[in-house]
Amino acid sequence: MELVLELTKGIEGWEDKLDLQTIEDYIKVVIEDEYTPEKPVYISLLLTGNDNIQEVNREYRGKDSATDVISFAYHDSDEAEFGPYDTLGDIIISLERVEEQAGDYGHSFRREFYYVLTHGLLHLLGYDHIEEEDKKEMRAKEEEILSRHGYTRDN
């Protein structure tokens, strides 16, 4: 499977905690395991801070607070035409919020980052957590994927 990942760093100082090639490889494996595209897959990923994600959350979701991850799934639109790509959507992650949550939950930064990245990817693949049954299914899938890649709650 061909993956076109547009990765944008909107915040500095995280290079020692994250390897961009590892992120791309992880996304590719998760997509290959969970989805069968007909064309090359395109995803954009923005790594940013609390101020930027709060602005996006306020503008697009009507919530004036920072959050860990926001996903915009393009497959939700029946009218979408994306040319040569199977454009799954956009994921925005606040690395500041990831660091805060890692401390709150007693996880490593890497484990928390890959949790929110997995959460965002599953949203792009059609998972949701509004209804309780859907939430259980999504949480189980998140834990399955994270465990398979060694990102357990213990590390």
Annotated binding site for Zn(2+): 119, 123, 129
Element (H or E) spanning 71, and its range? strand 69-73
Decide if 92 contacts 78 (C-beta within 8 A): no
CB 70 within 8 A of CB 119: no
Q: Report the binding-site residues.
A: 119, 123, 129
Sequence-distant (≥ 6) Cβ neighbours of residue 63 within 8 angstroms: 57
Which candidate, 68, 64, 73, 74, places its Cα nearest to that of 49?
68
